[in-house]
């Protein structure tokens, strides 16, 4: 099964080319609590173009993160990238029983998946009656090459853990937007909200309508480009450049000559993504708000620059803003890293399905 099922609390585990982030959430009434958190650098050369090529090295980094977090949970929710997944809404007769439905979905899936079915992992979820035909159900089909699942599962197993849920990053992000609703006008209902999640090497631009993702776009851009520019400009190693970017101490020309041009690049990427969104369908309107997330969101003043140049109110997205934080998670700096935890939080929320 692609999505899996839950039997107990899950760690949300976000594995990227630059870092491995994990978070475990608890629930008290309608509010959430960050129980455990840790992040580890991804071992060099262990991930290539989102493909895990050294599962043992990644597994060891996951093991270190779990130990530092102090979590006793041994089951995780992980995600494959959106461009590795095929999603399609198909229609099925409402009269089908569970076993019949599974068989029919597999037959239909063969039409939409450009790989042999024996090389594919897929799952489906009944969304409800079809708007066009009340005798049919809309069914969400999600599929990926089994290799994409296996490489992540192997890394998790190398850490001594079990991958209970395999999700898709775009779905995890939509799930996590529940935690951003406190920043949205009217909790996001009756509004278009753009969420831009700047990663190390990839960025995801999504637009939500009534808290559901109606558009998403992934593109190559991220904080790694700023790190590499610091390397080139000041003759630093990759490690030293990354540290200087976070901790400061760079020469006085850093802001005007390196950082400001990078913020301009960020703004251009947001503006271009907005144009793609507006051109993607008839009647598209400008979003009412932009929430900027990811490591780059911590650059001072970035929301103000985007807001002034794009003309849309912009804030830094904080999924932990209304959350209680345990002393364990606090000691690991979870607040400082909050903007980069959308995917990990979205996966951890699968505990409460």
Q: Is residue 6 in some structural domain?
A: no
Q: Is residue 212 in some structural domain?
A: yes
**Does residue 209 share a domain with residue 104?**
no
**Does residue 307 share a domain with residue 228?**
yes
Q: Is residue 29 in some structural domain?
A: yes
What is the residue-wise DSSP string for 131-160? SS-TTEEEEEEEEEEHHHHHHHHHHHHHTT
- The SS3 call for residue 193 is strand
**Does residue 57 share a domain with residue 15?**
yes
Q: Is residue 252 in some structural domain?
A: yes
- What's residue 142's pLDDT? 92
**β-sheet bridge partners, residue 76:** 11, 163
Pairing status of strand 162-168 against strand 75-80: parallel
**Does residue 64 share a domain with residue 165?**
yes
Q: Is residue 109 in some structural domain?
A: yes
**Does residue 281 share a domain with residue 236?**
yes
Q: Is residue 5 in some structural domain?
A: no
Mean pLDDT of all residues in the chain?
92
Number of domains making up the chain:
3
Q: Is residue 287 in some structural domain?
A: yes
Domain span at 154: 11-82+150-177+323-352
Pairing status of strand 314-316 against strand 289-294: parallel
User: How big is the CA angle at 15 (ends 10 and 21), to the nearest 5 degrees?
Assistant: 65
Which segments in the chain show pLDDT lower than 50? 1, 6
Calculate the CA 170 to chain-centre distance.
6
Residue with tokens 């929710």: 77
Looking at residue 171, which CATH number applies to its domain? 3.30.420.40
**Does residue 191 share a domain with residue 112?**
no
**Does residue 160 share a domain with residue 51?**
yes
Q: How far apart are CA 238 and CA 231, in angstroms?
A: 6
- What's residue 205's pLDDT? 95
**Does residue 92 share a domain with residue 49?**
no
**Does residue 272 share a domain with residue 214?**
yes
Question: In terms of Cα–Cα distance, which of 202, 175, 205, 180 is closest to 306?
Answer: 205
Could you report the per-residue pLDDT of 74-94, keeping only the tens digit for each?
999 999 988 888 888 999 999
**Does residue 236 share a domain with residue 162?**
no
**Does residue 168 share a domain with residue 64?**
yes
Could you report the per-residue pLDDT of 145-168, keeping only the tens digit for each?
999 999 999 999 999 999 999 999
**Does residue 216 share a domain with residue 134?**
no
Q: Is residue 36 in some structural domain?
A: yes
Looking at residue 132, which CATH number applies to its domain? 3.30.1490.300
Could you report the per-residue pLDDT of 200-238, keeping only the tens digit for each?
889 999 999 999 999 999 899 999 999 999 999 999 998
By 3-state DSSP, what share of the chain in percent is helix, strand and coil, each rounded to 5?
40, 30, 30
- What's residue 181's pLDDT? 95
Query: Distances from the Cα of 234 to the Cαs of 227, 237, 257, 258, in angstroms?
Result: 11, 9, 12, 10
Q: How far apart are CA 256 and CA 214, in angstroms?
A: 37
């Amino acid at each position: 099964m692609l999505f899996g099922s839950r039997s107990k609390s899950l760690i949300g585990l976000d594995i990227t080319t630059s870092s491995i982030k994990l978070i475990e959430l608890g629930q008290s009434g309608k509010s959430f609590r960050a129980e455990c958190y840790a992040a580890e650098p991804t071992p060099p050369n262990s991930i290539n173009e989102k493909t895990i090529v050294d599962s043992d090295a990644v597994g060891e980094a996951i093991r270190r993160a779990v130990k530092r977090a102090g979590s006793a949970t041994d089951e995780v929710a992980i995600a494959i990238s959106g461009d590795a997944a095929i999603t399609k809404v198909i229609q099925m007769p409402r009269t089908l029983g569970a076993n019949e439905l599974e068989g029919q979905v597999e037959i239909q899936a063969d039409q939409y998946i450009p790989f042999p079915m024996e090389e594919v992992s897929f799952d489906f979820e009944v969304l409800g009656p079809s708007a066009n035909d009340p005798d049919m159900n809309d069914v969400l089909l999600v599929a990926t090459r089994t290799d994409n699942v296996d490489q992540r599962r192997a890394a998790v197993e190398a850490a001594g853990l079990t991958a209970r849920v395999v999700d898709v990053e775009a779905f995890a992000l939509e799930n996590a937007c529940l935690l951003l609703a406190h920043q949205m006008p009217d909790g996001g209902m009756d509004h278009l909200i753009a969420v831009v999640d700047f990663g190390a090497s990839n960025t995801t631009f999504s637009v939500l309508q009534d808290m559901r993702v109606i558009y998403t776009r992934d593109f190559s851009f991220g904080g790694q480009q700023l790190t590499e520019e610091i390397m080139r400009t000041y003759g630093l190693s990759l490690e030293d450049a990354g540290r200087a970017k976070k901790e400061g101490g760079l020469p006085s020309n850093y802001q005007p000559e390196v950082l400001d041009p990078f913020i301009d690049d960020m703004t251009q990427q947001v503006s271009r993504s907005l144009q793609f969104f507006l051109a993607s369908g008839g009647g598209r309107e400008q979003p009412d708000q932009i929430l900027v997330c990811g490591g780059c969101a911590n650059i001072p003043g970035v929301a103000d620059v985007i807001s002034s140049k794009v003309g849309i109110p912009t804030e830094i997205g904080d999924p932990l803003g209304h959350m209680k934080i345990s002393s364990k998670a606090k000691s690991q700096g979870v607040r400082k890293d909050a903007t980069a935890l959308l995917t990990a939080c979205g996966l951890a929320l699968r505990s409460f399905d």
